[in-house]
Amino acid sequence: MTQDSTSHHDIPLMAGNVRLTLYGIEGELADEIALAVRDEGERLQRIFNLYDPKSELSRLNRERTIRASPELLQVIRRALAYCALAEGRYDISLGRQFLQRKRGEPITPVHCSYKHIRIEGDHVELTHPDVTIDLGSIAKGFIADRMLEFAIDRGVESAFIDARGDMRITGPRMEVIDIQHPREENRTLRPFVLENMAVATSGDYKQYSGSFSTSHIMNSRDIASVTIVAPTTMEADAIATAVFVTGMEESRALLTSIPHAKALIIATDGKEITLNGFEDLELDAQMRTVKSTIAQHGETNAAIPAPPRRTHRNSDAKSTKRTIATLITDN
């Protein structure tokens, strides 16, 4: 086994395909680890799947109060923190309206909020009859994190996961990420270096009808897409959603309170705004830093290897799920 060995594993999960890349390992050992990672992903999916009546989340929505698993408790607690941070513009209690929207049904008025979700010890209680919890904007990131960490715990030095657009890399490797333009499918922009971090995007990709300005998913919001780089995929996932549904003006204040989350916001008029140092991650800035370091050590003729390059694309299913809060709060 050489340090340059790399193995790629496609795992059917979360209504799509998760790509797991293991660096420095291949063959039967890599296959065994990938199989174990798949089993862990499937176990977690059985907790959070809103569409599976046997999932723990579905049982909570049905029974209204349960003793929750540590995983469900952790994700709900974290999601509620982001709901509060976004002052309710991001709200996980609107699962009923999301399902109505997805089925093409009339959307019922909203009379509940995330404040009607109560946690006491290891019990979760839904205190309003209209509450249906939807964790789609955060659970996928949590599952991706746990799958990656599962591989690392089994001796993998470095790994990369792409969970249908939510990406994270760990260990002594890096990737160059190209962001898909929210308006032009074959165009990418702002390549940046991902190293020991995660990235997620929320936006109106392919979710418009008629024109972009009349999109009923955007519902007059002024943000086309938000890309967040954060330490974990769960964080990046939730923060991207919260910023997107909050809107341009309020998002600046929101991101000020989360300085470790680096952001690229694409406005509906095409303007690109970077916050919290996102520009420092961009490929040109990173290459300038590398060249400066090499020059300081007198290695003026040293070759600078380019990291692998990937395109960060937002999936249709994820976009729909993430924009439901905008749809509901403006109706």
In the chain, how many domains are there? 2
Measured between alpha carbons, how far is residue 331 from residues 72, 107, 108, 110, 328 in Å?
30, 9, 9, 9, 5
Which residue among 93, 126, 159 closes a domain?
126
Angle between helices 70-85 and 233-246 (to 10 degrees): 30
In a domain? residue 173: yes
Mean pLDDT of the chain: 84
- The verdict on 102 and 249 lying in the same domain is no
Enclosing domain of residue 89: 56-126
Phi and psi angles of residue 248, each rounded to the nearest 5 degrees, phi first: -60, -50
- The verdict on 99 and 217 lying in the same domain is no
pLDDT band for 129, please (50, 70, 90 cuts): very high
| Nearest partner of 134 among 178, 181, 101, 174, judged by Cα | 101
Which are the contacts of 137, defined by CB distance < 8 A and separation ≥ 6? Answer: 79, 90, 92, 202, 237, 238, 241, 321, 322
- Tens of pLDDT, residue by residue over 52-110, are 999 999 999 999 999 999 999 999 999 999 999 999 999 999 999 988 888 889 999 99
Asked if 188 and 210 count as a contact pair (C-beta separation under 8 A), the reply is no
- Tens of pLDDT, residue by residue over 163-203, are 988 999 999 999 999 998 888 878 888 899 999 999 999 98
Which pLDDT does position 140 carry in this prediction? 96
Which pLDDT does position 54 carry in this prediction? 97
In a domain? residue 36: no
Asked if 317 and 13 count as a contact pair (C-beta separation under 8 A), the reply is no
pTM greater than 0.85 (yes/no): no
What is the C-alpha separation between 196 and 208, in angstroms, rounded?
Answer: 34
The residue-averaged pLDDT of 29-51 equals 97
Phi and psi angles of residue 320, each rounded to the nearest 5 degrees, phi first: -60, -50
Helix (H) or strand (E) holding 23: strand 16-23
- Give me the CATH number covering residue 185: 3.10.520.10
Which are the contacts of 47, defined by CB distance < 8 A and separation ≥ 6? Answer: 55, 56, 57, 69, 71, 72
pLDDT band for 139, please (50, 70, 90 cuts): very high
- 100 burial (CB, 10 Å; 0-12 / 13-18 / 19+) is middle
Least confident stretch, 122-136, 268-282, 313-327? 313-327
Q: Is the pLDDT of residue 207 over 70?
A: no
Which pLDDT does position 296 carry in this prediction? 52
Q: Where are the alpha helices (DSSP H) in 182-323?
A: 233-246, 248-256, 283-296, 316-322
| Nearest partner of 146 among 12, 38, 10, judged by Cα | 38
pLDDT band for 298, please (50, 70, 90 cuts): low
The residue-averaged pLDDT of 237-244 equals 94
In a domain? residue 136: no
